[in-house]
Every structure is written in C-alpha cells, then in structure tokens.
Chain A
Amino acid sequence: MSLFRALLGHLTRILAMVLIVLLIVDYFNPYMEFLSNTAAKIFLLLLCVSAFLLTLIIRKK
C-alpha cells in the first residue's frame, strides 16, 4: 500500500507540474490550444483520478 501511495504521490506531482506549465503557455498563446487538445484532457483526467485515490488512501491511513 505504501508503494502505491508513493507512486500516486509522484504521479500527482508530475501531472500537476505539467498542467501548470500548460496553463502558463496557454495564457500567453491561447491559439495553440495547449489545454483543449486530447492529450491535455487526458493529463487532467489522470490528475483528478490520482488526486482522488490519494485522498482516499490518506484518509484510510
């Protein structure tokens, strides 16, 4: 369980960093559609799922 929690923690941090970068570049150049393409939406979905699971694990602990 601790390994799973550690992996989820890493995944959440990595995805958060990626989405922060995409948010910043999208602010400067919205025409590139950094946030509205499929890959960015998948990142966002994965971030939501990993954050949700992480909160469950932390609560259980």
Chain B
Amino acid sequence: MKKILYRYRHLVIDVVAAAVLLCTFALFHHVLPSPLPGPDVPIIENDGVSSSLSAMEQTFQEHLHFAPITDENSYVSKNVIIETSIHTIEKNGEPITYYVADVYVRSIDCFRTALAEDTFGATGDFLEIGAHNRALMAVSGDYYTWNKGGPVIRNGLLFRNKQGRADVCVLYKDGSMKIVAGRAFDAEAAVAEGAWQAWAFGPSLLTADGKAATTFNSTLTDKHPRCAIGYYQPGHYVFVLVDGRQDHSVGMTLSELAELFESLGCTMAYNLDGGRSAQMAFDGKLVNQPYRDGREVSDIVYIREVE
C-alpha cells in the first residue's frame, strides 16, 4: 500500500488538494451566510403601492359566518381564520399522511414571511423563528440560501434581484397570486407593481384551468416530504404539508401533490422546499413529523394576528 501511495504520490497530492478546494468551495457556497444586504438595507422597498383590501375583506367577511370556533385545530378572529386538519390516505398500498391549513386573512399584513435571525443568509430553528415572530401558523419557506438563483422578496422588500431557473411565485399586496417562469421574472418591476412576497423554488403544480399539471419544471419529482401553498382567491389560501421517507408516510410525488391541490379546488399551487425542511406549526407547536427531526431553515411563511 505504502509503495503504491509513494509511486502515485503526485496524483495523491493533487486529489487531496482538489478535495480541499472543493470543501472550501462548499463552505462558501452553501454553509456560510451570503454576504448580501441584510433586512435593514433592502434593494427596494415596496411602499409606493396602496393596498387594495376590498377583495380580501369581502372574501373574509363571507367566510366568517361559516368559520368554526377557536379550538386546538382552529383559530378564528376578526382578522384571521385558520382551520387545520390531518389526513391519512393509502396509495398503491403505501401510507401517506398530510396536513392541511386552510387560511383566510382580512389583510395582507397577516400573511408574512420571516428570515432566520432577521438576517438575510442566516439559518435557524423553525419553531424559534415562528415564536420570535408570534406566528399563529407557519410553514417552512423556499430555503432561498440553498437555491442560489431566483429573486427574494419578503414583506415588500426586495433582498435578491437575480433570475433563476425555478418558477417564481408572487403574492401581491392585494392578496392575488401569480406564478411565472424564473427567466421571465423582473423583480424590480414586480415590486413596483406591488409584490409582497416572491418565492423561487417551485414548481407550479396546476395548469391555468386549475387541473393537475403533468410536467414540472423540477428534477425532484419522486416521493418526498412536501410543503406547498395553494391559492383560491385574494385572502384565501391553503398550506399543505406532507410527511415523507418514514414508516407512517412515504411522501408524495409532484404529480400526487398536484392532484391533491386540484381536489382541494385551488386555482394555483406552488411547491416550496420539502425534504427535511418541510415543517408546519400551529399554535407554537409542530403539527407534522419532520423527516429526521427536520433541519434549520432560512425562512418561514407564517400567519399572524394584527392589532
């Protein structure tokens, strides 16, 4: 062994040097926080567009009459209605457990996102981020630090103006949602039009007429833990969290997830970061059982109460 190592010592040195170089690359590429502007120095602040809340308020008022009372699975106030439910199904003899949070908000200010440690590029414990922001209900976001391409717009602030390959989901201040191709998305124009949130993970799950898509702009199509957001109309959204890679639930393929959103009656649906990141909390407690106890995340999507 020693003789072989000595004979090929130059090659061994090169391999070790390449490994060191790759480790250094990996450290800066996806371990250390990005040296980008923090929340105090956004590129653009969306304050020039007035929020039209009429459609959202109308939707909210209409549903408020049918809303349940606040209990361990629901939260109802004059601003927010959240109804959570757990579903267990079987597909091809394999169990799947998924969690649904049906959400109505009166104001877009109730629908927010938060960065770990309030710092762009940082990661942190999912429940701690939720508790810090007084989240009524929260799900993990798009893990923008993992996905180096694509825009990052959070609560009306543009943090990263970069085009990527992934579909971009935009939530506007008037409560409407739009999903566009990553290469066609202009973040600065979107903020000027009133973009409130923009996620870059995807893919989009439904066709324009609300049917389950059959092809997806993603390579992660197999069964995995999933986290996704669905849209009905301004002010009415649904979050779906699917447990996966475990005995009680194997996860969902993108096609299965798309079919689920079609059955829920959504007009749009968008996949967020899944795998170990996929986590949902309600009332400060984890709702789902994350794969290998979950992982730290860079951002969350959450619903909060407003004064």
Contact = CB atoms under 8 A, between A and B. Distances in A.
A49 interface: no
Nearest to B10: A10
A40 B239 CA distance: 37
Using C-beta atoms within 8 Å of the partner chain, give the interface range for chain B: 20 to 34
A15 B14 CA distance: 9
Nearest to A13: B14
Contacts of B183: none
Interface in B141-157: 146-149
B25 A39 contact: yes
Interface in A1-58: 10, 13-15, 17-18, 21-22, 28-34, 36-37, 39-40, 43
A22 B18 CA distance: 11
A31 B149 contact: yes
B165 A32 contact: no
B29 A39 contact: yes
A32 B14 contact: no
Contacts of A32: 29-30, 146-148
A34 B25 CA distance: 10
A16 to B, nearest CB: 8
A43 B14 CA distance: 15
Contacts of A15: 18
Interface in B205-251: 219
Chain A interface, >50% SS class: helix
B164 interface: yes
Interface residues of A, number: 20
Contacts of A17: 14-15, 18
B21 interface: yes
Nearest to A16: B18
Given A10-B10, A14-B18, A33 B25 contact: no
A29 to B, nearest CB: 7
Given A14-B17, A14-B18, A17-B18, A30 B10 contact: no
Contacts of B219: 28-30
A36 B17 CA distance: 22
Interface string B81-105: 0000000000000000000000000
B149 A10 contact: no
Interface in B4-26: 10-11, 13-15, 17-18, 21-22, 25
Contact of A31 (B15, B22, B164): B164
Contact of A30 (B17, B18, B146, B165): B165
Given A31-B166, A32-B147, A32-B148, A39 B17 contact: no
A31 B29 contact: no
Please name the 8 residue pairs, one residue from A and one from B, whose CB atoms are nearest each other, closest first: A17-B18, A33-B148, A13-B14, A14-B18, A14-B17, A18-B18, A33-B149, A14-B14
